[in-house]
């Protein structure tokens, strides 16, 4: 369950930080993992996670207009300053 204190805008910034951490993790994998198969699997996993987060981040940007924000199926609060009064 996502805490009510985390609204869509805050989650977008958190996802951006996590994406940056994934890029750093990819560098670490390339630099330190010696076995090619393991390196490839780890990079593929990080890429899939990054793509999923990026897609969810874009959905959070657009969901305020439809009043139904979710992050991986969990409801997210709409920020007060972006709520047009149509959302409850």
pLDDT tens for 54-66 read: 998 888 877 767 7
DSSP 85: S
Report residue 9 as tokens. 């805008």
Q: What is the pTM assigned to this prediction?
A: 0.76
Distance between CA atoms of 5 and 79, rounded to whole angstroms? 10
Q: If phi over 0 gives left and psi between -120 and 50 gives alpha, with beta otherwise, what is residue 55?
A: alpha
Q: In the predicted model, what is the mean pLDDT of residues 24-42?
A: 91
Q: Tell me what pLDDT residue 87 has.
A: 63
What Rg do the C-alpha atoms of the chain give, in angstroms? 16
Sort residue 67 into left (φ over 0), alpha (ψ -120 to 50) or beta. left
């Amino acid at each position: 369950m996502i805490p009510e204190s985390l609204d869509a805008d805050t989650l977008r910034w958190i996802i951006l930080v996590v994406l940056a951490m994934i890029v750093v993790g990819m560098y670490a994998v390339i630099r330190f993992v010696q076995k090619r198969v393991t390196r490839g699997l780890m990079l593929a996993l990080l890429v899939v996670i990054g793509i999923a987060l990026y897609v969810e981040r874009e959905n959070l940007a657009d969901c305020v207009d439809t009043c139904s924000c979710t992050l991986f199926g969990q409801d997210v609060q709409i920020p007060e300053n972006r709520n047009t009064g149509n959302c409850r």
